Amino acid sequence: MIRAIGARVLAAIPVMFGVAIVSFFMIRLVPGDIVNSIMGTEYGDPEVEQRLREYYGVDAPLYEQFFTWFGNVLRGDLGTSYRTGRPVVDEIMVRFPATLELALTALLVSVAIAIPLGVASATRRNGPLDAGSRLISLIGLSIPNFWFGILLITMFSVNRNWFPSGGSNDFSFSWDHFQYLVLPALTLGTSLAAVTMRMTRSSMLEVLSQDYIRTARSKGLSESTVVRRHALRNALIPVITVVGIQAGALLGGTVVVEQVFSWPGLGTLVVQSIGNRDYAMVQGSVLFLAGFYVLVSLIVDIAYLFLDPRLRHRG
């Protein structure tokens, strides 16, 4: 068990290093830099521009900038925002709770929709419910998040004024806060539910064909008992993996939805920072999201080891 966990931790190291390299160099492929963003393209005083580039440290060769930044990252310093002058970590911690709240709510929505539909679809294979569930999952996979979000805004905000069209307020356990969360969580959760539902159905069909399920039925157990106690537990093992991967990817996947609903999360911060050429903020945010994704994946792998004892001895 310890060797298996250690192997997964070691595998995360090159992943994080690769993310650091990609996030550093990809943002610099965008034309312009922080000095151009501040001064504009029309006004140009070479002396002032040079002083600003020296001040922000973007005048040095790229490899030197990278090793300086990455060396600071290894010491736990993600840098300072070019725009606000505040530490990147502080800016991330201000925005991260909103993104985490949206991601977790969307994940709950997806699980609440997908698992019951997947189980019902598998136990009623080739019936009307199965056909309808597969059609719904296909639609959910096909519709882009930004289009579905705009559709929900039109239906429930513009036409009926049931929910706010965007924005948020300070967190509280009240309807005044959660009404802002309904539409963006549905937008994200619906697409996730499509993937989870298909996996649940596929896994249930495979488990229901096993010999021990036929044995349970031959003992006279009711179908609901067979499904609930014998089939569902084993069928959920691959589903947990999919849900875990989605949980990690959600933090980065909220970028588009946050833009559509003006949600004040980390995704909105990344988009704004790209527009401002705030290199430190973009690099730090992407690295933070990647680290969170790796952490969630590691937790899922460990949970998988507990659920499936056969994997504990493979290393």
Predicted model pTM: 0.78
> Please, which residues have CB within 8 angstroms of residue 174's CB and are 6 or more apart in sequence?
none
Q: Which domains does the chain have, with CATH numbers?
A: 88-313 (1.10.3720.10)
- Give, for 16, the enclosing helix (H) or strand (E): helix 2-27
Q: pLDDT digit of tens for each residue in the chain (315 aa)?
A: 677 667 777 877 888 888 888 888 888 887 777 777 776 655 566 777 777 777 777 777 888 888 888 888 888 888 888 888 888 888 888 888 888 888 888 888 888 888 888 888 887 777 787 788 888 788 877 888 888 888 889 888 888 888 888 887 777 777 788 888 888 888 888 878 888 888 888 888 888 777 777 777 777 777 777 776 767 777 777 787 778 777 776 776 677 888 888 888 888 888 888 887 888 888 888 888 888 888 877 777 777 666 665 555 554
> Please, which residues have CB within 8 angstroms of residue 304's CB and are 6 or more apart in sequence?
237, 240, 241, 311
State CA 205 to chain mean position distance. 28
* pLDDT at residue 117, as a whole number: 86
- The span from the CA of 257 to the CA of 189, in Å, is 11
* pLDDT at residue 307, as a whole number: 62
CA angle 61, 65, 69 (to 5 degrees): 175
Determine if residue 269 is left, alpha or beta; phi over 0 gives left, psi from -120 to 50 gives alpha, anything else beta: alpha
